[in-house]
Structure 1
Amino acid sequence: MKTKISILLMVFFCQFNYAQIAKAKLIQGQVRNDIIPVENVIVFNTKDHTATNVNVYGSFEMMASVNDTLVFSSLVFKSKRIVLTEEDFIKPKIFVPLEVFTNELAEIVIKARKDMSPINGNTQRYVDLQYFGDEKSALKNSAMTPDGTIDKGTDFVRIYKGIINTLRKRNPEKTDFHKETSFSDYVIHHVDYSVLSNNLKLKDDEIKLFLVFCENDSKSRTLMGSNSEFQLLDFLTNKNKEFKKIITN
């Protein structure tokens, strides 16, 4: 009798899992910004703990279901959360606008990227923005007050500079700290979003910068293997302590 009950429970469990998997569909999307090219953005599905990177054109695709929450994390752009609806799966592609933290941070990252492609097309809007930013056209950091201080917000320009300055001190011969490496990809595909968000207490806006900080440690290259799960989590925990010290100074 117990054997029959066990078999029935197993069959029910398998059918339930199959039904859950069957609901997942491929969704395609593109992240956009009207000022600068969008790249190096991580997209997390917080429900099924999957993640992917957008490509150089800002496009991405992943398996997802209705009511799944997607989180977008980047160095330059403010994080964004969207909840997928049935309508999103009918469209050929969903478009997700991202907002830049500040002009200053965007300029710092762009200048630091040695491998970044030149801007094509009409460049006058970039010139106008740089030299003639006004109330209507210039980007604002909603966390900043008119006198430039932080009002109930986080100064990500300061945090970014602090992290990069620390990396420069540790790697004086290195100039490009933003080039994507396999470690960042490895983490987002092998470590749940909940670990980064709940266990390490990282804000959505901090995740990408934290991974850049980690991947510039040479030890990270040795942790990308099936037998290194415990060591990887231990490494991330210790790096997070260093990361928190820098961003709170």
Structure 2
Amino acid sequence: MKTKIGILSIALLCGQLIFAQIATSKLIKGQVRNALIPVEDVIVFNTKHNLGTAVNAYGSFEIRASVSDTLVFSSLVFKSKRIILTEKDFLASHVIVPLDVFTNELAEVIILAKKEMNPISGSTQKIVDLQFFDDAKSSPKNTAMLSDQTIDKGMDFVRIYKGILKTMRKDNPGKQDFYKDTTFADYVISHVNYSFLSSTLGLRDDEIKLFLVYCENDSKSRTLMDPALEFQLLDFLSNKNKEFKRITAN
């Protein structure tokens, strides 16, 4: 009996704490702006209270939050942004959030000077088949060998180095991140079946990219960019899809 009363007391206490936390949150108004193009299709998410909304055609939004909450802004056109709310934000009539447009920067291209090559006339196979023998005057001294040891044509240091390196990698394989230069959205598109995104998650073609950008703002997304974690990735996408649907439905 005492155990049941204790459990009930703990449950009531937790409920009061949650209710008090929600009660202290206030409805904050804001507007997302950009000086160049109209702002639309931006998702605003409160990471603390697990709440979200989408901006309207004028870039305005309303969301419940409290001081020190983090708001995350996700969009296809604009760079993602995080802001931490302060008391000053709640005193203002609305919060102004400037977003920067994505810019496609071209990678640096280095053009090397073209070298003039003089082709060898006739068949070159004869040259390949020729065998050359060193003589005392033309052969450099092999300083890696002791004076009382000799070996025909010296040591192949390149082959020795490759052999040692191969053995070291085999015995001590290092962790390599093959996807460090790939975004989470691009990784999912190339590794997850389209039918899972469209049929299982119920995402329209125009929603898929925005949904994946929304997922990128969760730090956990980068840890799942590994083919060995396929099931964890699908589970993550399913859970994030519930949040995304709840936000975009408003």
Q: TM-score range by the shorter chain?
A: 0.3 to 0.5
TM-score of the aligned structures, taking structure 1 as reference length: 0.46
The structure whose residues are more often helix, as a share, is 1
